């Protein structure tokens, strides 16, 4: 018997906390920063990944699907989160991983496999075509009827889930910053804003100009309409997805010493580095109140 026949259970720890971050480098510029600690929602299902999965799990359950395949790179947080959600709410999950299998599995994939996720691999050329009908049909042939989650979990239901993050913030703010991979989080946050508030994404991939289109497409999919209250900064990818260098590592170490928070180097650190750099460059006028999302 399936563990939860009724509602797809919700995680208990929403809303996530909002914390002041006092840092002289920002105070000097008259900028106030608060952290939306989505990273504290759950160790297994961090922040935005959970928000993006939530309505997809409801939809899959309601439509009678028990198998959830999804796509990602070998270090994808989304793959991990989908695996964890599958274990928790009793879905069969399939991780379709870009590139070749490497043994032993890295920590991310080992964790996913431990959660019961079936791992399968697509060469890079086929992976690029992962949304095309023949590739999806092959999945159905292999795993049966399934509810396919796109790469990064970003689709209409995901955008509606992340928009809720904004409603949880009860203080006034002017700008909200997030790290941007596939753009679902940025699309949702921007959709959730009101008045003159704006959202700034920091792309963690190199050459992420496609985000301009993707964020719009995701907003359309979720709400049938787009917003213009967001921008994506493309300058802080540090060489590309899951790439790092000594500058980023030093920033993470220094930030950890000052604030006792270890920023994740794939996403959070690149956003935070960018936020500090743009503040230093005078992008945010004195008095600007910023919320930065940690997931
Ligand atoms: C996945 C992830 C993001 C990016 O989310 P997208 O919706 O793909 O842009 C940002 N931060 C963290 C910590 C993540 O795990």
Q: What is the pLDDT of residues 131-152, one digit of tens each?
A: 999 999 999 999 999 999 999 9
Whether 26 and 73 share a structural domain: no
CATH value at residue 85? 3.40.50.1100
Q: Is the CB of 179 under 6 A from ligand 1?
A: yes
Whether 90 and 194 share a structural domain: no
**Within-domain flag for 269:** yes
Q: Model confidence over 91-124: pLDDT tens digits?
A: 999 999 999 999 999 999 999 999 999 999 999 9
Q: Model confidence over 199-228: pLDDT tens digits?
A: 999 999 999 999 999 999 999 999 999 999
Q: Are 93 and 82 in contact (CB under 8 A)?
A: yes
Long-range contacts of 168-171 (CB under 8 A, 24+ apart): 168/14, 168/15, 168/16, 168/18, 168/36, 169/18, 169/36, 169/291, 170/18, 171/18, 171/34, 171/289
Whether 209 and 278 share a structural domain: yes
Beta strands in 110-205 (DSSP E): 118-122, 175-180, 198-203
Tell me the pairing of strands 18-21 and 32-37.
antiparallel
Question: What is the pLDDT at residue 3?
Answer: 42
For residues 53-79, give the mean pLDDT. Answer: 95
Q: Which of 97, 113, 146 is the last residue of a domain?
A: 146
Q: Is the CB of 185 under 6 A from ligand 1?
A: yes
Task: State the pTM of this model.
Answer: 0.93
Rg (CA), the chain: 19
Whether 99 and 215 share a structural domain: no
Q: Is the CB of 162 under 6 A from ligand 1?
A: no
Q: Could you list the residue range(s) of the whole structural domain that residue 272 is in?
A: 18-43+154-294
**Within-domain flag for 49:** no
Å from CA of 1 to ligand 1 middle = 33
For residues 40-48, give the mean pLDDT. Answer: 83
**Within-domain flag for 9:** no
**Within-domain flag for 51:** no
Whether 289 and 192 share a structural domain: yes
Q: Which atom of ligand 1 is nearest to the CA of 295?
A: 13
Q: Are 168 and 147 in contact (CB under 8 A)?
A: no
Whether 266 and 217 share a structural domain: yes
Q: Which of 104, 121, 146 is the last residue of a domain?
A: 146
**Within-domain flag for 54:** no
Residue among 31, 22, 34 at smallest CA distance from 287:
31
Q: Is the CB of 77 under 6 A from ligand 1?
A: yes
Q: Of the residues 44, 76, 178, which should be mutated to test ligand 1's pocket, given the most ligand atoms within 8 Å of the CB?
A: 178
Whether 36 and 167 share a structural domain: yes
Whether 23 and 161 share a structural domain: yes
Whether 154 shows a pLDDT value over 90: the answer reads: yes
Split into its structural domains, the chain has a count of 2
Which distant-in-sequence residues (6+ apart) come within 8 Å of 196 by Cβ? 174
Nearest CA to ligand 1 atom 15: 77
Question: What is the pLDDT at residue 1?
Answer: 32
Question: How high does pLDDT run on average in the chain?
Answer: 94
Whether 167 and 27 share a structural domain: yes
Q: Of the residues 184, 267, 273, 275, which should be mutated to test ligand 1's pocket, given the most ligand atoms within 8 Å of the CB?
A: 267
For residues 125-130, give the mean pLDDT. Answer: 96
Whether 5 shows a pLDDT value over 80: the answer reads: no
Q: Of the residues 181, 210, 233, 275, which should be mutated to test ligand 1's pocket, given the most ligand atoms within 8 Å of the CB?
A: 181
Q: Which of 125, 146, 167 is the last residue of a domain?
A: 146
């Amino acid at each position: 018997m399936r563990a939860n026949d009724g509602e797809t259970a919700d995680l208990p720890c929403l809303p996530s906390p909002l914390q002041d971050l006092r840092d002289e480098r920002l105070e000097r510029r008259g900028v106030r920063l608060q952290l939306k600690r989505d990273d504290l929602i759950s160790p297994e299902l961090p922040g935005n990944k959970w928000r993006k999965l939530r309505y997809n799990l409801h939809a899959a359950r309601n439509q009678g699907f028990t198998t959830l395949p999804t796509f990602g790179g070998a270090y994808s947080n989304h793959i991990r989160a989908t695996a964890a959600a599958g274990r928790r709410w009793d879905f069969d999950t399939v991780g379709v991983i870009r590139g070749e299998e490497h043994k032993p599995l890295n920590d991310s994939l080992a964790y996913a496999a431990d959660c019961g996720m079936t791992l399968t691999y697509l060469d890079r050329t086929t992976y690029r075509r992962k949304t095309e009908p023949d590739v999806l049909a092959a999945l159905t042939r292999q795993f049966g009827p399934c509810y396919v989650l796109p790469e990064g979990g970003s689709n209409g239901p995901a955008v509606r889930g992340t928009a809720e993050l904004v409603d949880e913030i009860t203080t006034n703010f002017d700008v909200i910053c997030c790290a941007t991979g596939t753009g679902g989080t940025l699309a949702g946050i921007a959709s959730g804003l009101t008045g003159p508030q704006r959202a700034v994404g920091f792309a963690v991939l190199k050459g992420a100009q496609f985000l301009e289109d993707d964020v719009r497409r995701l907003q359309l999919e979720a709400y049938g309409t787009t917003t213009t209250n967001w921008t994506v900064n493309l300058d802080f990818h540090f060489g590309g997805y899951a790439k790092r260098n000594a500058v980023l590592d030093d920033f993470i170490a220094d930030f950890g010493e000052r604030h006792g928070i270890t920023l994740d180097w794939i996403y959070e650190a690149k956003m935070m580095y960018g936020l500090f750099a743009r503040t230093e460059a005078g992008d945010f006028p004195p008095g600007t109140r910023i919320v930065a999302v940690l997931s």
